[in-house]
């Protein structure tokens, strides 16, 4: 164990010196300076393209704009794959290592959302402005700065504006990258998601269900005595609410949406709910998953027992989302490099866990981390989302230096 720790310390030290040395390379230094100089422009861009709505499963318009931007910034082989991912290549001396640098196009907001971005001083406000318009802006800033500094990397960087990161999108863009469009070609993966200077190396896995309760339905007065799908669902929700889950590893559950019924004076024929369960630990997640399935069935059995005379309720729990759990070891080269690089830009925290595009490579054993895009974000996933651009260039510079360090 001692040897192991000593090795780690030496590796971390070597890596820290290496990061500092890399930052002093003339072309890299020129690129870092360009990233700072260009920051105001890419903040304007962030505000501009964030007004192109990108609701779940409807990222095409913003994707088209990124296809145009990738081309205008000089990326090669710019294309949109069948999952809607926008892919562009910046070739190095060799095709490998191939680093994928990603940020997600989609937001959690439905199509009718007002996506106008407003500014007050250094603060931008608008749905998705931090998550993940910030990551997308950092990606553009990095591409431009690499060009401005004329940086040559030994390996290749493939930039991807990906789809389906949020909600029921279920990481479909990233899953498609690894299963199809860049299958077998990805050696390392970083995604820039949200704000701050965080580093995420643990991928929280999740199960998501849409549970539908059905019954014959009828008149609230005339058919009284019939089992009621909404009331069965109420029993299920009460059971879920009473679950005890471990705090470490953090394991969570949420009934996020419900619907059903047609009228106040009708026994409904249908009700539905959407449930999200998460853990960074596979065993805890499986235990919670089993408890959830039992609770739903028990709730329906109890409802049917309570009202026996006039038609029973049935239930179908449909899996609508599954995000694999995974992690990139804290002593892996990619994490040591990310910590060493981030330290230069004032990152002081440790490592985090989250549910991001990196879950997919983490699960497949490909070195992956997710980093924040700098600045200060508040209210992610809320209509009141805001992004304070103060010193946000540090996030662009950090992502840039990390990309150069990993494309070797």
Would you tell me which residues interact with Zn ion (CB under 5 A)?
131-132, 193
What span, in angstroms and rounded, lies between the C-alpha atoms of 112 and 131?
18
Contact present, 404 and 151 (Cβ < 8 Å): yes
- Report, in Å, the least distance between residue 180 CB and Zn ion: 22
What span, in angstroms and rounded, lies between the C-alpha atoms of 78 and 86?
7
- Report, in Å, the least distance between residue 103 CB and Zn ion: 8
Q: How far apart are the first and last CA of the chain?
A: 29
Nearer residue to Zn ion within complex by CB, 193 or 353:
193
∠ at Cα 354 (351, 357), nearest 5°? 110
- Report, in Å, the least distance between residue 194 CB and Zn ion: 5
Sign of torsion over alpha carbons 221, 225, 227, 231 = positive
Nearer residue to Zn ion within complex by CB, 65 or 166:
166
- Report, in Å, the least distance between residue 208 CB and Zn ion: 16
- Report, in Å, the least distance between residue 132 CB and Zn ion: 4
What span, in angstroms and rounded, lies between the C-alpha atoms of 16 and 144?
25
- Report, in Å, the least distance between residue 162 CB and Zn ion: 10
Nearer residue to Zn ion within complex by CB, 317 or 372:
372
- Report, in Å, the least distance between residue 320 CB and Zn ion: 19
Nearer residue to Zn ion within complex by CB, 185 or 252:
252
Nearer residue to Zn ion within complex by CB, 132 or 385:
132
Nearer residue to Zn ion within complex by CB, 65 or 193:
193
Nearer residue to Zn ion within complex by CB, 130 or 215:
130
**Residue 205 CB burial class (10 angstroms; 0-12, 13-18, ≥19):** buried
β-bridge pairing 386-388 and 376-378: antiparallel
Q: Which residues contact 330 (CB under 8 A, 6 or more apart)?
A: 201, 351
**DSSP H/E element including 359:** helix 359-364
β-bridge pairing 270-279 and 205-214: antiparallel
What span, in angstroms and rounded, lies between the C-alpha atoms of 81 and 116?
28
Nearer residue to Zn ion within complex by CB, 67 or 132:
132
- Which has the closest alpha carbon to 403: 117, 36, 92? 92
- Report, in Å, the least distance between residue 373 CB and Zn ion: 10
């Amino acid at each position: 164990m001692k040897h192991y720790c000593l090795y780690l310390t030496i590796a971390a030290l070597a890596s820290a010196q290496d990061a500092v040395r890399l930052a002093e390379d003339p072309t890299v230094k020129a690129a870092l300076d360009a990233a700072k100089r260009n920051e105001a422009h890419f903040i304007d861009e962030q505000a501009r393209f964030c007004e192109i709505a990108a609701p779940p499963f409807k990222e095409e318009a913003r994707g088209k704009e990124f296809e145009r931007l990738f081309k205008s910034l000089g990326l090669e082989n710019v294309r949109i794959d069948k999952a809607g991912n926008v892919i562009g290549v910046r070739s190095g001396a060799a095709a490998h290592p191939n680093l994928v640098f990603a940020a997600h196009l989609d937001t959690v907001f439905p199509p009718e959302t007002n996506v106008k971005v407003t500014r007050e001083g250094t603060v931008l406000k608008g749905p998705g402005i931090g998550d993940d318009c910030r990551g997308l802006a950092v990606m553009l800033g990095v591409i431009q700065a690499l060009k401005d500094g004329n940086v040559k990397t030994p390996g290749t960087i493939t930039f991807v504006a990906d789809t389906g990161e949020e909600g029921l999108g279920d990481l479909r863009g990233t899953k498609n990258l690894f299963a199809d469009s860049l299958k077998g070609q990805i050696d390392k993966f970083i995604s820039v998601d949200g704000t701050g200077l965080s580093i995420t190396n643990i991928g929280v896995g999740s199960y998501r269900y849409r549970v539908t309760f059905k019954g014959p339905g009828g008149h609230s007065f005339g058919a009284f005595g019939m089992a009621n799908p909404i009331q069965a669902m109420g029993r299920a929700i009460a059971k879920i609410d009473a679950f005890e889950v471990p705090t470490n590893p953090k394991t969570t559950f949420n009934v996020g949406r419900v619907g059903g019924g047609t009228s106040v004076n009708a026994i409904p024929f249908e009700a539905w709910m959407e449930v999200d369960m998460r853990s960074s630990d596979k065993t805890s997640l499986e235990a919670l998953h089993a408890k959830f399935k039992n609770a739903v069935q028990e709730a329906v059995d109890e409802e049917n027992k309570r009202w026996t005379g006039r038609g029973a309720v049935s239930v179908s729990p449909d899996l609508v989302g599954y995000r694999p759990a995974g992690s990139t070891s804290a002593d892996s080269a990619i994490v040591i490099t990310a910590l060493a690089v981030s330290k230069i830009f004032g990152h002081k925290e440790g490592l985090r866990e989250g549910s991001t595009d990196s879950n997919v490579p983490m699960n497949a054993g490909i070195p992956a981390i997710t980093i924040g895009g700098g600045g200060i974000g508040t209210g992610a996933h809320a209509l009141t989302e805001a992004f304070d651009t103060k010193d946000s260039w540090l996030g662009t510079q950090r992502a840039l230096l990390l990309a150069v360090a990993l494309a070797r």
